[in-house]
Amino acid sequence: MSIYSNEHKEYLKKKRRKTIFVHMTQIFIILFFFIIWEYLANKGIINTFLYSSPSLIIKTIINLIKQNNLFSHLFITISEVMISFIISCIIALFISTILWWNEFISRVFNPFLSNLNSLPKVALGPLIIIWAGASIKSIILMSLMISIFVTIINFHQSFIGTDKNYITLLKSMNAKKKDIFFKVIIPSNKENIISTLKINLSMNFIGVIMGELLVSKKGLGYLIMYGSQVFNINLVITAILILGLLSFILYYIITIINKLIVKKR
Amino acid sequence: MEDNVLLKTINLSKNYYNDKTEIKAIENLNIHVLNNEILAIVGPSGCGKSTFLSILANLEKQTNGKIIMKKNLSIGYMLQSDSLFPWLTILDNVLLGLDIKKMKTGNNIEYTINLLKKYGLYEFRDQYPDNLSGGMRQRVALIRTLATNPDLLLLDEPYSALDYQTRLSLSNDLQEIIKNEGKTAILITHDLAEAISLGDRVIVLSKRPCTIKSIYNINLNNKTNPIDNRKDPKFNYYYDKIWRDLDVHI
Ligand SMILES: Nc1ncnc2c1ncn2[C@@H]1O[C@H](COP(=O)(O)OP(=O)(O)OP(=O)(O)O)[C@@H](O)[C@H]1O
Ligand SMILES: [Mg+2]
């Protein structure tokens, strides 16, 4: 335990005040946006049939909850994201480890990987549906296609970018390749790995929604698609807003995990 | 091989290649290391000193020539950069070698902890390297090298990052450890005074590709610790000679 001096306390207080001010401003901007939206809708300046309004969105949410639909759609989307996130992490970690382990393999497959990575995966959508059927399988496959290559490339880049001095040191201790991997490559790249996981998560999010838009059975993507087909803009915008909220929460969870893993020194 | 010789190199050569050029770092180097001596090596920057140690430590392969070593000779290499792992505590850093070599026994850990105490680093054992000064970091790196109790220490400018006073006192400590524990060391340094005051022999290397320019047996009138050795009447004699051999053009 350290006892803070008065100047130090003052410094911390100022810092905290600034942070609070930033958050207040952010909340204010959001509120302002919704209030203006509602105001314009009420005055009839914008057409609620095309642009909806906050009060209509709240009604839609209440309706969805009453029909006991909202949470099942939410649940489906979240589980699809989680499943594809976990699968893509495992596969990407495995493949990038092999690429790091064996330079020959990495040189052979690098051009394929960057090519696959830059291919617009939506183009594969119809094929995926034909191969995997209009089911959750297609959605997860779509999501993996979108997330996996960039994750492999990022993992591999950070592995081979590890400080050479650390590796030389371990080699001077007669370390095996396995030791180098677990004692240097992984711990020295903790930050990189976590930021890659963040990217991977948002990629999976994109992939799942894209899959749901294509396959359309359940989930937030389905709500958007369905809403647009029956021209229920309230439903579309509600689903989009929930989607935004969801991605914010997921991002926040990863940030917390990040803080737990990369402990302060 | 003679009994008191720990290691010798025969016509050792090392070339580095890239697409355009060939760099001759070492050419026909014949060096022997005696048991329980401190062999200081001085030479111009970039002449191939670190390369020589890397070959001895089996990190690089020589292009030509041979190295003959005493059987089961264990080598500890203190690299030019300290390379402490910022994600490990000081204690875990110094135990790294034991950990890798699967020698983390109670005795060995105790030996290492005693080294930490001796070098005034025990209180910092749970800290991370970022919190340490340059001198402390170098001491940690030295302890990490000593922890596995190697017979031959390869020291690549171990004190280059330090202030003069810390350097002097660490020189004393280093000599004490090597002499007390029956170790042998090859010490690379840019500091001629350090080489003469610490070394039993001093080898002067030429510019790249490095070959031996001269070898001196340091026979001081009264050889004691490195600090007092610097005041010895014959100290300046060696200093002048080696300085001339190095042929530094300013
Ligand atoms: N991995 C490498 N690939 C190519 N050239 C290298 C490599 N390592 C060293 N060299 C070259 O070999 C020569 C000797 O390098 P070395 O590091 O052994 O010098 P040094 O005597 O230790 O220098 P210093 O006193 O500055 O530490 C240098 O010209 C360097 O450019
Ligand atoms: Mg060097």
Tell me the ipTM for this assembly.
0.88
State the pLDDT at residue A264: 53
Which of B136, B158, B138 lies closest to B53, judged by CA?
B158
Residue of the nearest CA to atom 4 in ligand 1? B16
Q: How far is CA A91 from CA A104, A220, A251, in A?
A: 20, 26, 21
CA proximity to B101, closest of A171, A166, A181:
A171
Are the CB atoms for B9 and B67 separated by under 8 Å? yes
Could you state, in order of their start, the residue ranges of all structural domains in chain B? Answer: 1-73+185-250
pLDDT for position A237: 95
A172 and B57 within 8 Å at the Cβ level: the answer is yes
pTM of the model: 0.87
User: Would you state the pLDDT for residue B237?
Assistant: 87
Higher-pLDDT residue of B133, A241: A241
Q: Chain B: give the shortest CA distance to residue A195, in Å.
A: 18
Q: Does A61-264 carry CATH code 2.40.160.40?
A: no
A80 close to A146: Cβ distance less than 8 angstroms: no
* Whether A241 contacts A180, CB under 8 Å: no
Q: Which two tokens stand for residue A77?
A: 């989307």
Q: Sort out which chain A residues have CB atoms less than 8 A from B130's CB and list them.
A: 265
Residue B59 · residue B14 · CB < 8 Å: no
Q: Which two tokens stand for residue B51?
A: 């390369």
Cβ-defined contact of A165 to B148 (cutoff 8 Å) = no
Q: How far is B61 from chain A (nearest CA, A)?
A: 13
Q: Is the pLDDT of residue A1 over 70?
A: no
Q: Is B141 exposed, middle or buried (0-12, 13-18, 19+ CB in 10 A)?
A: buried
Q: What is the identity of the amino acid at B57?
A: A
Say how many Å lie between the CA of residue A168 and the centre of ligand 1.
15
pLDDT at A75: 93
Kindly tell me if the per-residue pLDDT of A226 is higher than 70.
yes
Pocket of ligand 1, candidates B12, B41, B49: which has the most ligand atoms within 8 Å of its Cβ, to mutate?
Answer: B49
What are A77-129's pLDDT values in tens digits? 999 999 999 999 999 999 999 999 999 999 999 999 999 999 998 888 899 99
- Residue A263: what pLDDT? 65
pLDDT in tens, A157-191: 999 999 999 999 999 999 999 999 999 999 999 98
Distance, C-alpha A102 to centroid of its chain: 30
Q: Which residues line ligand 1 (CB under 6 A)?
A: B 16, 23, 25, 45-51, 80, 208
Which residue from A165, A173, A183 is facing B101, i.e. has the nearest CB?
A173
CB neighbour class for B248 (10 Å; exposed up to 12, middle 13-18, buried from 19): exposed
pLDDT attached to residue A216: 73
Inter-residue contact B209 to B49 (CB < 8 Å): no
Residues of chain B with pLDDT under 70: 1, 248-250
Round to whole Å and give the CA distance between B139 and B119: 7
Task: Provide φ and ψ at B9, rounded to 5°.
Answer: -110, 140
pLDDT at B167: 83
Across the interface, whether the CB atoms of A172 and B59 are under 8 A apart is answered yes
* Residue that the structure tokens 């340094």 belong to: B189
Instruction: Give long-range contacts, CB 8 A cutoff, 24+ apart: A222-228.
Output: A222/A73, A223/A73
Chain A neighbors of B96, CB-CB under 8 A = 170, 173, 183
Q: Give the residue extent of every domain in chain A.
A: 6-46, 61-264
The length of chain A in residues reads: 265
Predicted confidence at residue B220, as pLDDT, reads: 81
Please list every residue in chain B whose beta carbon sits closer than 8 Å to the beta carbon of residue A186.
none
B100: nearest CA partner in chain A? A175
For residue A144, the surrounding DSSP H or E stretch is: helix A136-160
What mean pLDDT do residues A206-228 have?
91
Fold of B1-73+185-250: Rossmann fold (3.40.50)
**A28 CB-near residues (< 8 Å, 6+ apart):** none
Q: Rounded to a whole number, what is the largest CA-CA distance in chain B?
A: 54
Range 183-202 of A in CB contact (< 8 A) with B? 183-184, 187-188, 190
